[in-house]
Structure 1
Amino acid sequence: MTRWLAIGALGLTQIVGYGTLYYSFGILAPAIARDFAWPPELAFGALSAALLAGGLAAPLSGRWIDCYGAGRVMTAGSLVAAAALVACAFAPSGTAFLPTLVAMEIASTLVQYSAAFPLLVQRHPQTAQRSIVYLTLIAGFASTIFWPVTTWLHGFLTWRQVYLAFAAMHLAICLPLHALLSRPSRPADTTSDAAPRRDDNPVEGSLPLVVRRKGFALMAIGLALQSFVSSAILVHMLPLLAALGLGVVGVMVGTLYGPAQVLSRFVNMVFGRNLSQLRLAMISAGLLPAAIALLLLAAPSVPGALAFAVLFGMGNGLYSIVSGTLPLVLFGSFGYGTRQGQVMAVRLVVASAAPFAFALLTEHIGVDWALAVTAAFGAGAVVAFAGIARLSRAPARLDVAVVRQESTADSGSAV
């Protein structure tokens, strides 16, 4: 399969994966809560617990991706996702539903970006950076497509039947495409499609070896802080706007947010070819607190709220790109799946806790101060990425010393 066909096929599976395993839950949650006699907030609490479990499972899935190949993991993930959706549909009680929801979110780590990005890196390392940009542009339509599709299906199907229909999509669409993508990228190549091979021209990381441990920590912190800001604001978007006197524009804000994400990815695709990924990370991180600050200063202005939606959507759109390209550029293609799993774990754990933390902040210090604290977290992400830029200027000669130390250690262990 050519690079462009691989991107197109992955784009389709990502739309299905995110649409069925994530975006649909908000629409089906009220019916699920009624069916199990839960208060509405308990359904979203169950989702937070499931997202946390998915985050804890992400490092293991990343190691599997490096060991067995992303295509094979995604193929197995399609089966696991379908089985989890079927189990959700037949759960007889809320107690039985919770572990099936956990299984569904664990399956998402096998079929969503955390696996799709490594697949692109493993198949075509040298062009993976641009391929990730194209993939996120396609997958950005997941919410635009699946919110109305889920609403339409739920108009004449129960939530259980909707989940069965989604399971069928994973078997009919995602499974065969992932199986096709698990094949080697070159017809003449019969070796495993696992970790990148020497003749694949693997990408060498730009960050000096001696500072990579610090650089990874800073990158994980920066992406985690962005995840906190994104999750906290998106979950509380409508009540937040209402508290600021902007409840009437909630629908308009939601309408602008999705297209703004896609717009930012399109602009980056067309004009960002020569922009470093570290600089793009700082721009992405900076847009989120800037949007919050604009909302605080402009509320209850409707134009200000709409501008907030555009800036926040653009920041989140670029964030999806950076989360895939920055680890590749800084650390290279070798071990990329493992690193993605580790970063995804931190992001999902933080994202699962962010809505609850923001609610506590709002209750104890008020909406304005809660937003100010959240914006400060976003600014912290900019500082973390700036720290990586400083590390990247470390003298390259230190790498030689590190290599010599590693060689000496290897020789000693051989003896």
Structure 2
Amino acid sequence: MTAVGNDGSLAKAETAERAPIAAVAALGITQIIGYGTLYYSFSILAGDMAKDMGWPTEWIFGALSAALLAGGLTAPLLGGWIDRFGAGRIMTAGSAVAAAALAACAYAPNGPAFVGALIALEAASNLVQYGAAFALLVQIRPRAAQRSITYLTLVAGFASTVFWPITSAMHAHLPWRDVYLVFAGLNLLVCLPLHAWLSQGLARSRRAAIEPPRHVAGSLPAPARPLGFALMVVAFSLQNLVSAAVLVHMVPLLSGLGLGAAAAIVGTLFGPSQVLSRFINMVYGINLPPLRLAIISAVLMTAGVAILLGTAPSIAGAMAFAIVFGMGNGLFSIVTGALPLMLFGSEGYGRLQGRAMSARLIVSAVAPFALALAMAHIGISWSLGLMALVGCLALLVLAAIAKVSSAT
């Protein structure tokens, strides 16, 4: 086996080998559909779901939190499957499971059946969204994976831009159950064939290879990896806590700080800011070491929260918050794929991603409730201050990773 070494050699290898553009384009389509149908559509349809089930709307979001928690617990197992069977095969099966889970939600006769289908939906999400897609890019061409991940996140960043209006337009004419059935068809008829094509292409390339694949070797030596992995998971979890909590409550936060009707307008800046930061990184920072990119991401997210806290109820300040925080969150998506590759290498990447993703998903399930509880008991300003503190802690942990890396 031939290995590519640390940060510097990885950057040179990335430059020498082209990203698999056809695979990135195909995954870009499936990620837009995957995130659009399995994630972004939920908030638009939740009110109709609640009426249909006879539940308060918060119960529907509580069911989503329970499903996210269950999905987080299954992530390590699914990550092992990705390494064992190949990401292409797992994503192909995941598209079928996602379609079946969407249909099960649509046909759920009662609340318990709906919650069970929702849990299946979140488990399927782990099979078809970023974690699996990043692993597929690593398996296709390890030395170009960092560049490929950047390209993919740029394309997939349009998922909310595409599916929020599509879901709203469909829901104006169809009940939520029919919308979910249409989305099941998209996963079955578009995503599944594309994932199957990627899987077959990967299998053919491996059979035709004359030399064994050149893997990327992680920058951390074996003795430092347990500590490095623990620090990385803590840093990712802290950043994910800030991201998930703030994004779910963005409009209520802005409204509670006195922005009124402008809150919804300010919130629309977030999505384009994510795409902008990924585009800037693609053009100017494609070979930037992932750890440095992680620190930049954490600085931007923390600074965004601090700007909002320090300028409210200024509309200009809120706009700056949405832009800065959105740019940091956009880079965070790249970091979650690129940093594990840099630190631990390409072998066993799927299993490693599954373990790291498990912690992030569990935090994502708890974070919105935790921030809601904090806002109710200590107020919005103190809650934002707490989020800024969490962001600072993430920066300290990332600095500790840098210290561990330099010491080895």
Q: CA deviation at 1:289?
A: 1.3
Deviation at 1:187, TM superposition (A): 4.2
Among 153, 157, 166, the alignment partner of 1:140 is 157
Contact 1:184-1:190 within 8 A present in 2 as well: no
> 1:222 aligned to 2:239?
no
Of the candidates 50, 63, 67, which is equivalent to residue 80 of structure 2?
A: 63
| Counterpart for residue 11 of structure 1 | 28
The reply on whether 1:34 has 2:47 as its aligned counterpart is no
Alignment of 1:15-414 (within 5 A): 15-185=32-202, 187=204, 189-190=206-207, 199-395=212-408
CA distance in 2, matches of 1:198, 1:77: 31
Displacement of 1:198 after TM fit? 7.6
Percent identity, please.
Answer: 59
The alignment partner of 1:388 has SS state of helix
How far apart, CA to CA, are the structure 2 residues paired with 1:54 and 1:97?
15
AA aligned to 1:122 is Q
Residue pair 1:289, 1:378 contacting (<8 A) in 2 also: yes
Q: Which runs of 5+ in 1 are unaligned?
A: 396-415
Secondary structure, in 3 states, of the residue corresponding to 2:200?
A: coil
1:219 and 1:321 map into 2 onto residues whose CA distance is 14
Structure 1: which amino acid aligns with 2:48? A
Relative to the length of structure 2, the TM-score reads 0.93
Does the 8 Å contact 2:150/2:286 carry over to 1?
Answer: no
Q: Spell out, residue by residue over 1:185-208, the C-alpha distance to the aligned partner (whole angstroms, 9 max, x if none).
A: 3746438x9xxx982110010122
Instruction: Answer yes or no: is the 8 Å Cα contact 1:71–1:178 preserved in 2.
Output: yes
- Counterpart residue type for residue 156 of structure 1: H
User: In terms of Rg, which structure is larger?
Assistant: 1
Q: CA deviation at 1:93?
A: 1.1
Does 371-380 or 126-135 show the bigger shift? 371-380
Q: Secondary structure at the match of 1:202?
A: strand
Q: Displaced runs of 4+ in structure 1, greater than 4 A?
A: none
User: Does the C-alpha gap of structure 1 residues 190 and 198 become closer, same or farther in structure 2, counting only changes over 3 Å?
Assistant: closer
Summarize deviations over 1:45-83 as a string: whole Å, max 9, x none: 111111111111110110000000000000000110000
TM-score (norm 1): 0.92
1:339-372 C-alpha deviation (Å, 9 max, x unpaired): 1001110000011101111111112211111111
Q: Give the alignment's Cα RMSD to 1 decimal.
A: 1.4
- In structure 1, what is the equivalent of residue 5 of structure 2? none
Letter paired with 2:173: F
Match of 1:404? none
Q: Which shifted more, 241-250 or 333-342?
A: 241-250
How far did residue 21 of structure 1 move? 0.3
Structure 1: which amino acid aligns with 2:224? V
Change (3 A) 1:188 1:287: closer
Structure-1 separation of matches of 2:178 and 2:287: 47
